[in-house]
Amino acid sequence: MAKDRPQRLVILLSGRGSHFENLHQNVHANSLINAEIVGVIADRADAAGLAKAQRLGVATALVRPDRHSSSNQFEHALVTQIRDWHADWVILAGFMRILTPTALMPFEGRMLNIHPSLLPKYKGLDTHRRALEAGDGEHGASVHFVTAALDGGPVLSQVRMRIDKTDTATDLAERLLPLEHQLMQASVALLTRHAVEYRNEDIAIDGQNLVNPMVLGRDLDVTGHWQPHCPSQ
């Protein structure tokens, strides 16, 4: 189902903002993604992504936890800002903060995060090092719905890549980032093209239950077209 009006995206970030930048390029230069970035929120004044957004003329807000009397107040401020921008979707792109139901409930089923591992493997930090230490032959990234469980919400889509014997954690991070960007843009494009519903930990796309996460290049292309595949294949 194609959505007729551009979907309004709010991006939350804490750091360099390469996902924001890539998404911005693709959303604004690519008519295949029917969306607009209506605001960027950072939780740190030194987040390079905040300056990038300002340079690109995107509305920004700095919402700092240390400027609020409690984490609950901080999360209320986040919710107020996101609501002010009338977000359809909230995208956590390198937002390095764990949110509680105060910020999650108002956007249940509309908040997604990108995480640099093949979830459910390696929730939390240091995912590249942990994949190497485990001797994995494969690594990747996941886009998932955000729930109160850390990196534990249902996974919408993943990108996979091989780990070579000589790879260091830095090699993995460098090689994964462009794939992460593709995964993010494909996932956002999917949100704008199809009816994506989240209910009770299940994801349905165009009314069809998603049995396994979509894999970029197999079930999902970068323009957001979805090809359901048979789980037994």
Which is closer to ligand GAR, CB of 101 or CB of 124? 124
State the helix-helix crossing angle for 169-193 and 18-29, rounded to 10 degrees.
40
150-179 residues in contact with ligand GAR (CB under 6 A) are: 177
115 is a catalytic site residue: yes
Candidate ranges 15-23, 55-63, 155-163, 195-203; the one touching ligand GAR (CB under 6 A): 15-23
Residue 88 vs 180, nearer CB to ligand GAR: 180
List 115, 128, 144, 181, catalytic entry: 115
Which of 113, 194 has the CB closer to ligand GAR?
Answer: 113
The residue within the footprint of ligand GAR, chosen from 18, 26, 34, 182 (CB under 6 A), is 18
User: Could you identify the residue written with the tokens 């590249």?
Assistant: 128
Q: Which of 9, 17, 122, 182 binds ligand GAR (CB under 6 A)?
A: 17
Residue 144, helix vs strand vs coil: strand
Minimal distance in Å, beta carbon 45 to ligand GAR?
15
- For the beta sheet containing 202-205, the strands, ordered from the edge strand earlier in sequence to the opposite edge, are 196-199, 202-205, 208-209
Q: How many residues bind ligand GAR (CB under 6 A)?
A: 15
3-state secondary structure 167-222: CCHHHHHHHHHHHHHHHHHHHHHHHHHCCEEEECCEEEECCEECCCCEEECCCECC
Which residues in the 77-106 window bind ligand GAR by CB under 6 A? 93-94
Q: Which stretch binds ligand GAR (CB under 6 A): 16-24, 70-78, 164-172, 200-208?
A: 16-24
Integer Cα distance of 203 and 226 in angstroms = 14
Sole binder of ligand GAR in the list 7, 19, 203, 224 (CB under 6 A): 19
Q: Which of 180, 192, 216, 222 binds ligand GAR (CB under 6 A)?
A: 180
Question: Where does the chain have alpha helices with state H?
Answer: 18-29, 48-55, 71-84, 101-104, 127-133, 169-193
Helix (H, G, I), strand (E, B), or coil: what is residue 35? strand
DSSP 153: S
Cα(215)–Cα(103) distance, integer angstroms: 29
Q: Does 43 bind ligand GAR (CB under 6 A)?
A: no
Nearer to ligand GAR, 75 or 180 (CB): 180
CA dist 3 and 89 (Å) reads 13
Q: Which residues bind ligand GAR (CB under 6 A)?
A: 13, 15-19, 49, 93-94, 114-116, 141, 177, 180
